[in-house]
């Protein structure tokens, strides 16, 4: 079965067995086929957009002050995947990004480090070497290196290319892989193809020692368009083995929005209720201010609980957000408003 | 040589049937000059109760019929009245002491009132309802719906046929069902109208007609918890303020007494409707 | 399934206090009655209005006795005859537009006053009540010179003096619902705010002075039930508009019988919030929460009966409980408060009494874990599960944060259970299936039906009930018509003038 399902007899498609992902098997049952997956996803409750957006807006009106705000600002920094994903990226640019990640505010040693740097696959070796001792290298302390992979951002490449893209990044030291799903396949109803590819990429995340790089599955919600699709794609990505579900590449507008993130958090919450297993969520793109980021923290805390506010379970994919947080942090420390010349560019 | 006439037994009209009063009572109906015309049934409170039950059970079906359908049913009443025009003229002459010309005018006006109201059945919703432009992503529509079971004290002084049309038609065209207390002094037109209704397409129980004493029956209807509204059009000579006070126990909608037959009006139609506003979210995604 | 437990340690979720500043309020120690454009002392014994969150006195309030009512009605009558009815609709509209703008300008101050006096969370008074007050005046301002289009035929007439009595649950919003359409239609007003929540109405009186509204057009008299009774029974009022309990509404309907006063009554409710198994579940949960816990459940249209399809009953209740654990009860002026104070000790006693009855009658009581402040009147969000249709809490209006959960199996059963009440104010329907929603909406005997949403209000949208929830509508064109009477349509001539001689027989 290739990219499109059009013209093929429905029965043939639906009967096709899917890759035996563990979670999907336990949730859907032994008969894991295109058909059973489709029935499962289409049986999910619908989403009323107006109500979802109102709930997100209501969460956005929480007023976070004083001690809570100080905690929130530091937490935001600890949850950032500091990102550069430009065609013009160079080893020098990556080194500069890493320096910022390690030491976000040279004027204040109490400033925490970010969770990870996020770069294109070919920049992974430069990121790893620039991090040096600050690199986590798969341990719980230190800064991770995340690589976008699978023909990011469009995902329009053969599975072989996607797998090679992934394996190479992992071999170079990537602790986390941010893959994109095939939105074309998803929108044409070819859920099985999307599923199988995630399973295959997950397998490509396996390191030589048998451990896995963490897999973040980018849904590119701006292209999925409807909230019902976002819920199904989130569920699908989790069933196929994703460790994180991530909103966006940052290359498509709209990128992360609060309602979409809330919806994905609700999926993660429901998964936890059913299985006890915790899945991470990463809104990426478009979150530029501390004020916005705090709304996300509130949404996480009130939807899945405060225990999700750890780098293992929640990340911001952002670049300019960090500096705004640093400015706010300086304001809280000094009591005066700071300015862009008092934080470093990157 | 004259033929010996066959007089009619005048009975109640409840649930599409013609029962005598359960009380067994009748009262004498006479011409203006006191000449005996008939023994009409003298309805009791239990007859009123039965009529309310009949009206309630007819409500679901009648109120869910389409406006087009109800309009045709009302128009059919006009058609049948037209066919029995002479009979009604004679009855009005006898029971109200009218001239032939006046009686004919009343019958014709009554028929035309049925026709006028019939045409409203599939239009009043458009005129009395609204699409509401609310500030938000919502579909929002207000539509009038029938209030439920309406008790009606028909006009009592004259206009015994026109009076019925002018209170029954506006109430039932929207889907209400009614219990009508006819003109006490001139009930013959009401009984003959019920024969028209019985042979028309009006489902049994939609219109229930009681003859007898409004003073006796009206308090029972005003106090009945399963009556949603009361039209006191013909209650001007009763202690109608007391009726309104009793009706307030279950917060009935009340129309105050009127002189004579109420003229055709949209207000009369809308008086026994409830505006229902439905909101629904709207979104492309 | 995970256990329902509130996290014991929290570094973030117990947000630091974020109180709205009260420095914006410039309250006087005492307030008089607002009659004929001036504040005057009442002749009854004055009373204190308190904050239900702290039980502290906010201000001393005048009490209008029947002689004050006479003066207020006379002022309204005089303003009606001499001023208001002689103004053009356009000018009446301009006054209403002014009021709308002044409310917007002083919105924060009004919101703080409302939360202080009523106990409702500042986020509700700030984001719902006061913005709607401004919207209501703005909407009806535009109607004032367009009365010919109100649906009553050409040149409809105003009624005269309107006597208005409003409740404590949405003090200023209920004032706006009453005053805006009355003035737009050309009536003058005597309005009595609730005894426990007069504050925002008295600040509103200052706004009327700033708007330079002609004296006597709006008179605001404070007092208790007897003041309201004297007002609605005053022989010189032409219109009575009341929002409150069905018991008082019934008494008003009796007392105005035979007077010819036009009446609008917005009374109690026991709304069903119907959740089908194909509902957008997360939004339905939010809708249930908003339906019954908005404004501490002090809402006549509150979704106090949750009717949930039997096959998702446990899931819904489970999700609901989890959600309720995130509700924050406390200081109404804290911007993060979700559940404020119960408006009065009397109301708190009533909620407690009915809840105890619910428990005695065998329903399963569950209360959200909340820290209850020591001072003030508070009631934690409460759910009664496995409630039967005959249970007291399923039939009587609690008017508090108490939800009764009942189940159904089919849409027809849902409709039947929803309608099985003497009330008929509102209802909710949650489903992703359009045809079912519309058919269920058709079957519900209620004046306002929210599908996949709940507790939405808008000045353009008529609001009011079926059956014992009252009669008349507020909001929209219908709400305007409640303050007008038709001057008559062109009569259907062909009917009134028919004579047999001019009648043509159909040729058959």
Strand-by-strand arrangement of the B273-281 sheet: B130-131, B138-146, B273-281, C448-451, C426-430, C272-275, C305-309, C402-408, C382-385, C364-367
What's the rounded mean pLDDT across residues C330-354?
A: 97
- Give yes or no for B285 touching A (CB within 8 A): yes
The pLDDT value given to residue B281: 98
Q: Name which residue leads in pLDDT, C146 or A139.
A: C146
Q: Which residues of C touch A69 (CB under 8 A)?
A: 16
Q: Write out the DSSP string of B8-30.
A: PPB--BBTTB-PPPTT--EEEEE
Q: How many CB pairs under 8 A join A and B?
A: 17
Nearest to A48 among B136, B281, B284 (CB): B281
Q: How many CB pairs under 8 A join B and C?
A: 138
Active site residue C300: yes
CA angle, A94 then A96 then A100, to 5°: 115
pLDDT, one tens digit per residue, over B145-189 is: 999 999 999 999 889 999 999 999 999 999 999 999 999 999 999
Nearest to C451 among B135, B274, B278 (CB): B278
Cβ distance B281 to A226 less than 8 Å, yes or no, reads no
Tokens of C356: 């105890």
Percent of chain A with pLDDT strictly greater than 70:
96
Percent of chain C with pLDDT strictly greater than 90:
93
Cβ distance B277 to C461 less than 8 Å, yes or no, reads yes
User: What values do phi and psi take at A235, rounded to 5?
Assistant: -60, -45
C300, C370, C397, C468: the catalytic one is C300
Whole-number average pLDDT of chain C: 94
pLDDT, one tens digit per residue, over C271-312 is: 999 999 999 999 999 999 999 999 999 999 999 999 999 999
The pLDDT value given to residue C128: 98
Residue that is written with structure tokens 């973030």 in the block: C12
Which of C 424-453 lie inside 8 A of B, CB atoms?
A: 424, 437-438, 441-442, 444-453
Going by pLDDT thresholds of 50, 70 and 90, the confidence category of residue B75 is very high
Strands A80-83 and A316-318: parallel
Tokens of A96: 């500069």
Going by pLDDT thresholds of 50, 70 and 90, the confidence category of residue A13 is low
Kindly list the residues of chain A whose beta carbon comes within 8 Å of any beta carbon in chain B. 48-51, 225-227
E strands, A165-204, where?
176-180
pLDDT, one tens digit per residue, over B276-285 is: 999 999 999 8
- Give yes or no for C282 touching A (CB within 8 A): yes
Cβ distance B276 to C503 less than 8 Å, yes or no, reads no
- Residues of A with catalytic roles: 178, 246, 282
Cα of A273 to nearest chain C Cα, Å: 5
Angle between helices C107-118 and C171-184 (to 10 degrees): 130
Question: Count of alpha carbons within 13 Å of A171, Cβ hemisphere only?
Answer: 8
Cβ distance A51 to C283 less than 8 Å, yes or no, reads yes
Chains in contact with B, counting 3 or more C-beta pairs less than 8 Å apart as contact: A, C
Q: Which residues of C touch B280 (CB under 8 A)?
A: 437, 451-453
The pLDDT value given to residue A278: 98
Nearest chain A residue to B138, by CA: A50
Cβ distance B240 to C449 less than 8 Å, yes or no, reads no
What's the rounded mean pLDDT across residues C310-321?
A: 98
Q: Which residues of C touch B149 (CB under 8 A)?
A: none
- Give yes or no for C21 touching A (CB within 8 A): no
- Give yes or no for C123 touching A (CB within 8 A): yes
Q: Which residues of A touch B139 (CB under 8 A)?
A: none
What's the rounded mean pLDDT across residues B47-66?
A: 98
Give CA–CA dist B6/B227, Å, rounded: 38
Cβ distance C335 to A72 less than 8 Å, yes or no, reads no
Give CA–CA dist A290/A306, Å, rounded: 18
Cβ distance A48 to B285 less than 8 Å, yes or no, reads no
Nearest chain C residue to B244, by CA: C257
Q: Which distant-in-sequence residues (6+ apart) come within 8 Å of A45 by Cβ?
A: A231, C278, C279, C280, C281, C282, C432
The pLDDT value given to residue C504: 55
Residue whose C-alpha is closest to residue C75's, from C39, C31, C30, C100 = C39
Cβ distance C280 to A64 less than 8 Å, yes or no, reads no
- Would you say residue C8 has pLDDT above 70? no
- Give yes or no for C11 touching A (CB within 8 A): yes
Q: Which residues of A touch B281 (CB under 8 A)?
A: 48-51
Compute how many other C-beta atoms are within 10 angstroms of the C-beta atom of residue A20.
10
Nearest to C2 among A46, A272, A306 (CB): A272
Q: Three-state secondary structure along C370-385? A: CCCCCCCCCCCCEEEE
**Sign (positive or negative) of CA dihedral C129, C132, C138, C140:** negative
Strands C218-220 and C272-275: unpaired
Going by pLDDT thresholds of 50, 70 and 90, the confidence category of residue A30 is confident
The pLDDT value given to residue C492: 62
Give CA–CA dist A114/A82, Å, rounded: 7
- Would you say residue A9 has pLDDT above 80? no
Tokens of B174: 């929207």
Tokens of A117: 């740097």
Chains in contact with A, counting 3 or more C-beta pairs less than 8 Å apart as contact: B, C
pLDDT, one tens digit per residue, over C98-132 is: 999 999 999 999 999 999 999 999 999 999 999 99
Q: Name which residue leads in pLDDT, C7 or C484.
A: C484
- Would you say residue C508 has pLDDT above 50? no
What's the rounded mean pLDDT across residues C319-340?
A: 97
Residue whose C-alpha is closest to residue C133's, from C485, C471, C458 = C458
pLDDT, one tens digit per residue, over A282-338 is: 999 999 999 999 999 999 999 999 999 999 999 999 999 999 999 999 999 999 999
- Give yes or no for B2 touching A (CB within 8 A): no
User: What values do phi and psi take at B130, rounded to 5?
Assistant: -150, 145
Cβ distance A62 to C335 less than 8 Å, yes or no, reads yes
The pLDDT value given to residue C499: 40
Nearest chain B residue to A46, by CA: B285
Nearest to B277 among C257, C462, C495 (CB): C462
């Amino acid at each position: 079965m290739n990219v499109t399902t059009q013209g093929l007899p429905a029965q043939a498609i639906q009967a096709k067995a899917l890759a035996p992902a563990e979670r999907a098997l336990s949730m859907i049952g032994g008969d894991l086929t295109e058909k059973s997956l489709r029935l499962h996803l289409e049986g999910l409750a619908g989403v009323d957009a107006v109500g979802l957006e109102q709930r997100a807006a209501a969460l956005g009106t929480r007023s976070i002050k004083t001690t809570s705000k100080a905690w929130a600002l530091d937490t935001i920094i600890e949850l950032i995947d500091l990102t550069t994903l430009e065609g013009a990226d160079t080893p020098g640019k990556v080194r500069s990004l890493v320096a910022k990640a390690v030491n976000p505010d040279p004027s204040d040693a109490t400033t925490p480090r970010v969770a990870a740097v996020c770069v294109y696959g070919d920049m992974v070796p430069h990121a790893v070497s620039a991090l040096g001792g600050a690199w986590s290298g798969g341990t719980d302390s230190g800064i991770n290196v995340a690589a976008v992979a699978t023909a990011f951002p469009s995902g329009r490449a053969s599975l072989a290319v996607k797998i090679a893209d992934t394996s190479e990044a992992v071999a170079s030291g990537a602790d986390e892989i941010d893959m994109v799903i095939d939105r074309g396949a998803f929108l044409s109803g070819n859920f099985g193809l999307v599923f199988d590819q995630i399973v295959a990429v997950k397998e490509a995340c396996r390191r030589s020692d048998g451990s896995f790089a963490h897999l973040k599955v980018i849904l590119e919600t701006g292209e999925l368009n409807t909230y019902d699709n976002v819920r199904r794609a989130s569920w699908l990505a989790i069933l196929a083995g994703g460790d994180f579900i991530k909103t966006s590449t940052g290359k498509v507008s709209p990128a992360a929005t609060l309602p979409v993130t809330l919806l994905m958090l609700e999926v993660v919450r429901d998964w936890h209720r059913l299985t006890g297993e915790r899945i991470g969520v990463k809104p990426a793109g478009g979150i530029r201010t501390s004020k916005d980021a705090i709304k996300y923290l509130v949404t996480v805390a009130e939807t899945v609980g405060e225990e999700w506010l750890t780098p293992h379970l929640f990340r911001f994919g952002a670049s300019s957000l960090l500096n705004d947080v640093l400015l706010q942090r300086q304001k809280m420390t000094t009591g005066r408003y700071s300015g862009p010349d008092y934080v470093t560019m990157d | 040589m004259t033929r010996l006439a066959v007089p009619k037994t005048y009975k109640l009209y409840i649930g599409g049937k013609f029962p005598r009063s359960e009380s067994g009572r009748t009262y004498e109906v006479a011409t203006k000059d006191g000449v005996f015309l008939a023994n009409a049934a003298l309805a009791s409170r239990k007859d009123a109760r039965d009529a309310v039950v009949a009206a309630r059970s007819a409500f679901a079906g009648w109120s869910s019929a389409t406006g087009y359908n109800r309009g045709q049913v009302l128009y059919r009443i006009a058609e049948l009245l037209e066919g029995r025009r002479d009979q009604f003229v004679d009855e009005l002459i006898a029971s109200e002491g009218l001239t032939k010309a006046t009686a004919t005018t009343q019958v014709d006006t009554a028929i035309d009132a049925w026709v006028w109201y019939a045409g409203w059945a599939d239009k009043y919703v458009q005129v009395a309802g609204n699409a509401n432009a609310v500030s938000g992503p919502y579909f929002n529509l207000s539509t009038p719906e029938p209030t439920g079971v309406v008790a009606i004290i028909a006009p009592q002084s004259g206009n015994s046929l026109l009076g019925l049309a002018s209170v029954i038609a506006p109430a039932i065209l929207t889907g209400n069902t009614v219990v009508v207390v006819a003109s006490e002094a001139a009930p013959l037109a009401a009984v003959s109208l019920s024969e028209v209704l019985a042979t028309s397409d009006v489902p049994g129980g939609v219109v229930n007609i009681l003859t007898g004493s409004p003073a006796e029956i009206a308090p029972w209807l005003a106090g009945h918890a399963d009556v949603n509204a009361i039209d006191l059009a013909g209650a001007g000579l009763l202690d109608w303020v007391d009726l309104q006070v009793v009706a307030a126990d279950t917060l009935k909608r009340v129309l105050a007494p009127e002189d004579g037959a109420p003229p055709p009006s949209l207000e009369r139609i809308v008086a026994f409707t409830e505006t229902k506003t439905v909101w629904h979210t709207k979104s492309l995604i | 399934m995970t256990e329902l437990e509130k996290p014991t340690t929290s570094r973030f979720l117990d947000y630091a206090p974020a109180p709205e500043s009260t420095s914006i309020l410039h309250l006087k120690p005492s307030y008089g009655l607002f009659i004929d454009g001036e504040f005057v002392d009442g002749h009854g014994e004055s009373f204190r209005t308190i904050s239900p969150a702290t039980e502290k006195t906010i201000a001393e309030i005048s009490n209008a006795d029947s002689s004050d009512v006479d003066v207020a009605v006379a002022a309204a009558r005089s303003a009606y005859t001499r001023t208001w009815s002689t103004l053009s609709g356009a000018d009446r509209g301009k006054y209403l537009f002014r009021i709308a703008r002044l409310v917007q300008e002083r919105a924060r101050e009004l919101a703080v006053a409302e939360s202080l006096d009523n106990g409702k969370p500042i986020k509700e008074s700030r984001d719902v009540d006061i913005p709607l007050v401004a919207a209501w005046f703005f909407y009806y301002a535009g109607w004032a010179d367009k009365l010919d289009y109100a649906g009553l035929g050409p040149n409809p007439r105003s009624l005269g003096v309107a006597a208005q009595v409003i409740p404590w649950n949405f003090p200023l919003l209920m004032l706006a619902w009453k005053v805006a359409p009355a003035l737009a239609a050309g009536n003058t007003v005597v309005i009595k705010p609730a005894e426990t929540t007069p504050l925002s109405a008295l600040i509103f009186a200052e706004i009327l002075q700033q708007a330079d509204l002609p004296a006597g057009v709006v008179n605001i008299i404070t007092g208790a039930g007897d003041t309201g009774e004297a007002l609605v029974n005053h022989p010189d009022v032409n219109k009575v508009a009341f929002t409150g309990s069905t018991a008082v509404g019934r008494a008003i309907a009796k007392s105005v019988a035979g007077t010819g006063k036009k009446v609008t009554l917005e009374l109690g409710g026991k709304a069903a919030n119907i959740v089908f198994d194909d509902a957008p579940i997360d939004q339905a949960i939010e809708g249930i929460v908003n339906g019954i816990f908005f404004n501490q459940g002090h809402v006549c249209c509150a979704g106090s009966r949750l009717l949930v399809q039997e096959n998702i009953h446990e899931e819904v209740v489970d999700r609901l409980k989890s959600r309720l654990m995130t509700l924050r009860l406390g200081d109404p002026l804290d911007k993060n408060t979700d559940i404020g104070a119960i408006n009065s000790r009397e109301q708190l006693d009533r909620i407690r009494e009915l809840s105890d009855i619910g428990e005695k009658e065998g329903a399963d009581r569950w209360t959200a874990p909340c820290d209850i402040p020591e001072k003030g009147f508070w009631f934690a969000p409460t759910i009664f599960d496995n409630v039967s249709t005959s249970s007291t809490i399923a039939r009587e209006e609690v008017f508090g944060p108490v939800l009764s959960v009942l189940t159904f199996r089919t849409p027809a059963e849902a409709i039947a259970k929803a309608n099985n009440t003497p009330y008929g104010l509102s209802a909710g329907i949650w489903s992703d299936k359009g045809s079912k929603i519309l058919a269920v909406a058709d079957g519900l005997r209620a004046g306002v039906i929210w599908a996949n949403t709940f507790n939405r209000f808008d000045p353009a949208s008529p609001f009011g009930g079926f059956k014992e929830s009252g009669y008349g509508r507020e909001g929209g064109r219908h709400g305007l018509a409640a303050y007008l009477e038709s001057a008559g349509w062109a009569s259907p001539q062909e009917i009134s003038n028919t004579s047999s001689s001019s009648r043509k027989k159909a040729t058959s």
